[in-house]
Structure 1
Amino acid sequence: MWFLAGTFGEQVKRACKVPSGRPIAVPVINQVGDPQSCTAFMSSAQGTVLLDGKAVEPETYEGDSITVQGAQGNPVTGEEGRFTATGCGLWVQLPPLAPGTHSLKIRGRSGDFSTGVDYALTVAASSN
């Protein structure tokens, strides 16, 4: 699985090389918190994803218990150590993409928080 990053509320453009044969996962909009904050967040969560101009339906995760290993300086965890939290959001999982260039446009919103990423993806041909 090749994970692509979301944003902390900005609209950004990124270019990324993706290994051949790897499925891709990317958040549309997501949050880590407690069960109550996830319930509130998901009540208005919505998003759109376009891969090469074609709509891809995001998967909904209402609130799953997750274990996080925090690292010093990480903007999500803020501290070192292991803790349990609730993760929720809209995510997209894509099968491996054909070699070549691809456009992935992601827009998400929950309440007054919004994200947007335009990815220019390049998948190299397999070296087999």
Structure 2
Amino acid sequence: MSYLRRHMKTTLFRRNLISSLFIAALLSTAGCDTIGPLVLQSSDVSIDAYEALSREWVRWSVSTPYADSPINDVTGELCGVGQPDGVWFLAATYGGQVERDCTIPANTPLFFPLLNTFNVPSDAWAEANYDYYVNTLAPNYLADTRAKTCELTLRIDGEDLLEDTAALDAELWVAVTEPFSVELADDNWWNNNGFTKPGGAYGYAVVGGHWALFKPLSPGDHTLEFGGKTCNGEAVAFETLAVYHLHVEHGHGNGHGHGHGNGHGNGHGHGNGHGHGHGH
């Protein structure tokens, strides 16, 4: 079987998996606690959904050329790029504030990171250092990112969904330290930011961050604000804020999207939609 056919079958499988996860997780909300549209990590179903969707968001973000990345989008015109069936992914920025307009199909859940970080080492390095990577480096790397998070924002239609950063941290933190596969675009964050990282398949990605899973919003217009900051002591090291003017369609939308995805990066730093690595 050709690489293209294998890749298409894998992509289709993953998109069907996402749809199945959301049918299970979001149509059975009796098993999930919520605050407004926010699904809390209060059950095995919602915890599994958060972890699975964190992986899929990373795959989505790194699989599209950097030039087409919704993370780089300054207007919202790229918000539909690469969207899978069953859920709609949003992104913030590689740093700084952005304001976007985005039309969302009816009856479509949203998933996005306030702040996140991930690592995509080379397979050769990860295999040679597997125990150290999985048991020490990756957990410590993600824990350090969490410890440096000094502000988180999550607001819908002018209302904060949780009272403060401490509450957001406790409820929204997700760490996936079991390695998973990704497919990097040739035109990726690394190759646009002073690093060299070939496109292609990588098998040992990990991810951590503060994520939000929303039930479908009511039809009409909504304003969603999310982001955060990391600090070194009193100094802000990184900050991001996305303000989305969402236009939720009426009807029987299924979350089906079109396009590519997001290019992403290697290197150190923090951010919503920001990629990291150790350059291996």
Give the TM-score band, short-chain normalised: 0.7 to 0.9
Q: CA deviation at 1:123?
A: 0.4
Hey, what does 2:243 align to over in structure 1?
118
Return the match for 1:54 from 142, 150, 159: 159
Hey, what's the Cα distance between the residues in 2 that align with 1:52 and 1:76? 35
The question of whether the paired residues in 1 share the 8 Å contact of 2:92 and 2:227 is answered with no
- Structure-2 change in CA distance of 1:64 and 1:53 (3 Å): farther
RMSD value, Cα: 2.0
Higher RCO (CA-CA < 8 Å; seq separation 6+) = 1
**Cα deviation 1:105-125 (Å, max 9, x = unaligned):** 112112211110000000011
The question of whether the paired residues in 2 share the 8 Å contact of 1:48 and 1:56 is answered with no
TM-score by length of 2: 0.42
Hey, what does 1:85 align to over in structure 2?
205
The question of whether the paired residues in 2 share the 8 Å contact of 1:42 and 1:62 is answered with no
The question of whether the paired residues in 2 share the 8 Å contact of 1:35 and 1:86 is answered with no
Q: Quick check: 55-64 or 110-119, which moved more?
A: 55-64
- Which structure dedicates a bigger proportion of its chain to helix? 2
Q: Percent identity?
A: 28
Hey, what's the Cα distance between the residues in 2 that align with 1:127 and 1:115? 33
Hey, what does 2:88 align to over in structure 1?
2
Hey, what's the Cα distance between the residues in 2 that align with 1:16 and 1:123? 9
Of structures 1 and 2, the larger Rg is shown by: 2
What is the aligned residue count? 128
- Which structure dedicates a bigger proportion of its chain to strand? 1
- Report the AA paired with residue 140 of structure 2: Q
TM-score by length of 1: 0.88
**Structure 1: 5+ residue runs without aligned partners?**
none
The question of whether the paired residues in 1 share the 8 Å contact of 2:112 and 2:213 is answered with yes
The question of whether the paired residues in 2 share the 8 Å contact of 1:31 and 1:89 is answered with yes
Q: CA deviation at 1:36?
A: 2.7
Q: 1:97-112 residue pairs with structure 2 within 5 A?
A: 97-111=217-231, 112=237
Hey, what's the Cα distance between the residues in 2 that align with 1:26 and 1:14? 14
Q: Secondary structure at the match of 2:94?
A: coil
Q: CA deviation at 1:60?
A: 0.6
**Structure 2: 5+ residue runs without aligned partners?**
1-86, 120-137, 163-167, 192-196, 232-236, 254-280
- Structure-2 change in CA distance of 1:4 and 1:115 (3 Å): same
